[in-house]
Protein backbone atom coordinates (compact mmCIF):
# COMPACT_ATOMS: atom_id res chain seq x y z
CA UNK A 1 0.00 0.00 0.00
CA UNK A 2 1.39 3.43 -0.87
CA UNK A 3 2.00 5.59 2.13
CA UNK A 4 0.42 9.04 2.04
CA UNK A 5 3.12 11.68 2.28
CA UNK A 6 2.30 14.63 4.51
CA UNK A 7 2.17 17.99 2.77
CA UNK A 8 5.15 20.27 3.32
CA UNK A 9 2.79 22.91 4.70
CA UNK A 10 1.34 20.58 7.37
CA UNK A 11 4.76 19.39 8.45
CA UNK A 12 6.22 22.87 8.73
CA UNK A 13 3.14 24.17 10.54
CA UNK A 14 3.35 21.45 13.17
CA UNK A 15 7.11 21.85 13.49
CA UNK A 16 6.85 25.63 13.91
CA UNK A 17 4.03 25.34 16.41
CA UNK A 18 5.90 22.82 18.50
CA UNK A 19 9.13 24.83 18.47
CA UNK A 20 7.29 28.01 19.45
CA UNK A 21 5.35 26.34 22.23
CA UNK A 22 8.42 24.59 23.55
CA UNK A 23 10.09 27.99 23.91
CA UNK A 24 7.07 29.61 25.53
CA UNK A 25 7.77 30.18 29.23
CA UNK A 26 5.51 28.24 31.57
CA UNK A 27 4.71 31.54 33.31
CA UNK A 28 2.05 32.28 30.67
CA UNK A 29 -0.13 29.72 32.43
CA UNK A 30 -2.32 31.05 35.23
CA UNK A 31 -1.05 30.10 38.68
CA UNK A 32 -4.03 27.83 39.36
CA UNK A 33 -3.45 26.01 36.09
CA UNK A 34 0.21 25.51 36.91
CA UNK A 35 -0.61 24.20 40.36
CA UNK A 36 -3.24 21.86 38.96
CA UNK A 37 -0.83 20.61 36.31
CA UNK A 38 1.71 19.93 39.05
CA UNK A 39 -0.87 18.05 41.11
CA UNK A 40 -1.86 16.05 38.05
CA UNK A 41 1.74 15.17 37.25
CA UNK A 42 2.49 14.25 40.87
CA UNK A 43 -0.63 12.14 41.24
CA UNK A 44 0.26 10.12 38.14
CA UNK A 45 -2.38 11.79 35.97
CA UNK A 46 -5.22 10.62 38.21
CA UNK A 47 -7.09 13.77 37.20
CA UNK A 48 -6.86 14.55 33.48
CA UNK A 49 -5.42 18.02 32.83
CA UNK A 50 -8.43 18.69 30.58
CA UNK A 51 -10.61 18.90 33.67
CA UNK A 52 -8.64 21.85 35.03
CA UNK A 53 -10.84 24.92 35.28
CA UNK A 54 -10.26 27.80 32.86
CA UNK A 55 -11.99 31.03 33.91
CA UNK A 56 -14.65 32.46 31.55
CA UNK A 57 -13.76 35.36 29.23
CA UNK A 58 -15.92 38.16 27.82
CA UNK A 59 -16.01 38.61 24.04
CA UNK A 60 -17.41 41.96 22.89
CA UNK A 61 -18.87 42.22 19.37
CA UNK A 62 -21.92 43.19 17.30
CA UNK A 63 -24.23 41.23 19.64
CA UNK A 64 -22.96 42.88 22.81
CA UNK A 65 -20.71 41.28 25.38
CA UNK A 66 -20.85 37.52 25.11
CA UNK A 67 -19.51 35.38 27.92
CA UNK A 68 -17.41 32.40 26.84
CA UNK A 69 -17.89 29.86 29.63
CA UNK A 70 -15.43 27.30 28.33
CA UNK A 71 -12.41 29.00 26.74
CA UNK A 72 -9.65 26.78 25.42
CA UNK A 73 -7.55 25.36 28.23
CA UNK A 74 -3.97 26.71 28.12
CA UNK A 75 -1.39 24.43 26.57
CA UNK A 76 1.14 23.07 29.04
CA UNK A 77 3.86 22.47 26.44
CA UNK A 78 4.54 21.41 22.86
CA UNK A 79 3.42 17.84 23.56
CA UNK A 80 0.12 19.12 24.87
CA UNK A 81 -0.32 21.09 21.63
CA UNK A 82 0.36 18.00 19.51
CA UNK A 83 -2.19 15.97 21.50
CA UNK A 84 -4.83 18.70 21.31
CA UNK A 85 -4.37 19.11 17.56
CA UNK A 86 -4.78 15.43 16.78
CA UNK A 87 -7.75 15.02 19.13
CA UNK A 88 -9.56 17.93 17.49
CA UNK A 89 -8.59 16.49 14.11
CA UNK A 90 -10.14 13.13 15.10
CA UNK A 91 -13.36 14.87 16.14
CA UNK A 92 -13.51 16.49 12.71
CA UNK A 93 -12.87 13.09 11.10
CA UNK A 94 -15.71 11.64 13.13
CA UNK A 95 -18.19 14.41 12.31
CA UNK A 96 -17.50 14.27 8.56
CA UNK A 97 -17.89 10.49 8.57
CA UNK A 98 -21.14 10.73 10.57
CA UNK A 99 -22.49 13.38 8.14
CA UNK A 100 -22.03 11.11 5.11
CA UNK A 101 -23.54 8.27 7.13
CA UNK A 102 -26.60 10.34 8.15
CA UNK A 103 -27.20 11.44 4.56
CA UNK A 104 -26.94 7.83 3.38
CA UNK A 105 -29.41 6.75 6.08
CA UNK A 106 -31.76 9.51 4.92
CA UNK A 107 -31.48 7.97 1.45
CA UNK A 108 -29.73 11.01 0.00
CA UNK A 109 -26.19 9.59 -0.28
CA UNK A 110 -25.35 11.79 -3.27
CA UNK A 111 -26.51 15.12 -1.82
CA UNK A 112 -24.01 17.98 -2.34
CA UNK A 113 -23.50 18.04 1.43
CA UNK A 114 -22.50 14.38 1.33
CA UNK A 115 -19.94 15.11 -1.37
CA UNK A 116 -18.51 18.01 0.66
CA UNK A 117 -18.26 15.87 3.82
CA UNK A 118 -16.65 12.95 1.95
CA UNK A 119 -14.13 15.33 0.39
CA UNK A 120 -13.28 16.85 3.77
CA UNK A 121 -13.04 13.39 5.32
CA UNK A 122 -10.51 12.35 2.68
CA UNK A 123 -8.49 15.56 3.09
CA UNK A 124 -8.42 15.02 6.85
CA UNK A 125 -7.31 11.41 6.34
CA UNK A 126 -4.34 12.67 4.32
CA UNK A 127 -3.24 14.75 7.32
CA UNK A 128 -2.86 11.81 9.72
CA UNK A 129 0.84 11.24 8.96
CA UNK A 130 1.74 14.82 9.84
CA UNK A 131 -0.52 14.97 12.90
CA UNK A 132 0.94 11.82 14.38
CA UNK A 133 4.54 12.85 13.64
CA UNK A 134 5.25 14.30 17.12
CA UNK A 135 5.95 11.25 19.29
CA UNK A 136 3.75 12.13 22.25
CA UNK A 137 1.80 9.23 23.77
CA UNK A 138 -1.29 9.78 25.91
CA UNK A 139 -1.01 11.66 29.19
CA UNK A 140 -4.51 10.95 30.44
CA UNK A 141 -6.76 7.93 30.74
CA UNK A 142 -7.58 8.17 27.04
CA UNK A 143 -5.36 8.61 24.03
CA UNK A 144 -2.61 7.46 21.74
CA UNK A 145 -0.61 4.34 22.61
CA UNK A 146 3.19 4.51 22.53
CA UNK A 147 3.04 1.62 20.03
CA UNK A 148 2.35 4.21 17.28
CA UNK A 149 5.97 5.32 17.42
CA UNK A 150 7.41 1.91 18.35
CA UNK A 151 6.05 0.27 15.20
CA UNK A 152 5.92 3.04 12.58
CA UNK A 153 5.58 0.65 9.63
CA UNK A 154 2.41 -0.95 10.99
CA UNK A 155 0.92 2.41 11.96
CA UNK A 156 1.68 3.76 8.48
CA UNK A 157 -0.25 0.79 7.07
CA UNK A 158 -3.30 1.84 9.07
CA UNK A 159 -2.95 5.44 7.90
CA UNK A 160 -2.64 4.25 4.28
CA UNK A 161 -5.59 1.86 4.58
CA UNK A 162 -7.77 4.62 6.01
CA UNK A 163 -6.75 7.09 3.30
CA UNK A 164 -7.55 4.53 0.60
CA UNK A 165 -10.96 3.77 2.11
CA UNK A 166 -11.88 7.46 2.33
CA UNK A 167 -10.76 7.99 -1.29
CA UNK A 168 -13.01 5.11 -2.44
CA UNK A 169 -15.98 6.54 -0.56
CA UNK A 170 -15.34 9.94 -2.14
CA UNK A 171 -15.06 8.35 -5.59
CA UNK A 172 -18.40 6.53 -5.18
CA UNK A 173 -20.13 9.84 -4.40
CA UNK A 174 -18.28 11.77 -7.12
CA UNK A 175 -19.26 9.12 -9.70
CA UNK A 176 -22.88 9.08 -8.47
CA UNK A 177 -22.65 5.39 -7.56
CA UNK A 178 -25.32 5.52 -4.84
CA UNK A 179 -25.31 1.73 -4.40
CA UNK A 180 -21.58 1.75 -3.46
CA UNK A 181 -21.85 4.37 -0.70
CA UNK A 182 -22.98 1.87 1.97
CA UNK A 183 -20.05 -0.44 1.31
CA UNK A 184 -17.71 2.57 1.18
CA UNK A 185 -18.90 3.76 4.58
CA UNK A 186 -18.49 0.29 6.08
CA UNK A 187 -14.95 0.06 4.73
CA UNK A 188 -14.04 3.44 6.24
CA UNK A 189 -15.55 2.48 9.58
CA UNK A 190 -13.61 -0.78 9.58
CA UNK A 191 -10.41 1.29 9.34
CA UNK A 192 -11.43 3.54 12.27
CA UNK A 193 -12.12 0.52 14.46
CA UNK A 194 -8.96 -1.33 13.48
CA UNK A 195 -6.70 1.65 14.15
CA UNK A 196 -8.37 2.37 17.48
CA UNK A 197 -8.11 -1.31 18.41
CA UNK A 198 -4.34 -1.21 17.95
CA UNK A 199 -3.37 2.38 18.75
CA UNK A 200 -5.90 4.20 20.93
CA UNK A 201 -6.23 3.39 24.60
CA UNK A 202 -9.02 4.10 27.02
CA UNK A 203 -8.65 2.83 30.54
CA UNK A 204 -11.04 -0.06 31.24
CA UNK A 205 -12.09 -0.18 27.61
CA UNK A 206 -9.59 -1.85 25.28
CA UNK A 207 -9.93 -0.88 21.65
CA UNK A 208 -11.92 2.29 22.43
CA UNK A 209 -14.76 1.91 20.00
CA UNK A 210 -14.30 -1.57 18.70
CA UNK A 211 -12.98 -5.07 19.25
CA UNK A 212 -11.68 -7.56 16.81
CA UNK A 213 -14.11 -10.45 16.39
CA UNK A 214 -11.79 -13.10 15.03
CA UNK A 215 -8.08 -13.49 14.58
CA UNK A 216 -6.66 -12.34 11.24
CA UNK A 217 -6.28 -15.34 8.91
Q: Which residues bind ligand HEC (CB under 6 A)?
A: 83, 86-87, 90-91, 93-94, 97, 128, 138, 143-144, 158-159, 162, 188, 191-192, 195-196, 199-200
Measured from the CB atom, is 117 or 162 closer to ligand HEC? 162
Measured from the CB atom, is 86 or 127 closer to ligand HEC? 86
What is the smallest separation between the CB atom of 93 and ligand HEC, expressed in angstroms? 5
| C-beta neighbour count of 216 within 10 angstroms | 5
Contact 196, 208 (CB under 8 A): yes
Measured from the CB atom, is 50 or 180 closer to ligand HEC? 50
What is the smallest separation between the CB atom of 180 and ligand HEC, expressed in angstroms? 17
Measured from the CB atom, is 51 or 91 closer to ligand HEC? 91
Residue 61: enclosing H or E segment and its boundaries?
strand 57-61
Of the candidates 61, 57, 89, the one whose C-alpha atom is nearest the C-alpha of residue 74 is 57
3-state secondary structure (DSSP) of residue 213: coil
What is the smallest separation between the CB atom of 57 and ligand HEC, expressed in angstroms? 22
What is the smallest separation between the CB atom of 72 and ligand HEC, expressed in angstroms? 13
Alpha helices by DSSP H, the chain: 8-23, 31-42, 78-105, 112-125, 128-131, 147-150, 152-174, 178-199
- State how far the Cα of 107 lies from the Cα of 98, in Å rounded to an integer: 14
Measured from the CB atom, is 74 or 79 closer to ligand HEC? 79
What is the smallest separation between the CB atom of 58 and ligand HEC, expressed in angstroms? 27
What is the smallest separation between the CB atom of 15 and ligand HEC, expressed in angstroms? 18
10 Rama sector, left if φ>0, alpha if ψ -120 to 50, beta otherwise:
alpha
**Buried residues in 92-119 as b, exposed as e (16+ CB within 10 A):** ebeebbebbbebbeeeebbbeebbebbb
Measured from the CB atom, is 29 or 160 closer to ligand HEC? 160
- State how far the Cα of 4 lies from the Cα of 201, in Å rounded to an integer: 24
Amino acid sequence: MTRPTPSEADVSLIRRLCVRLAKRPLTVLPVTQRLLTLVVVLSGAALPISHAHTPPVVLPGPWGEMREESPARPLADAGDAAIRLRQQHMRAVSSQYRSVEALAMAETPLAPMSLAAARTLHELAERNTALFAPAVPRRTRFGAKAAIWQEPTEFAEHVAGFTLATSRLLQAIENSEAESVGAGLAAVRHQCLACHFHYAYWENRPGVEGRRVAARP
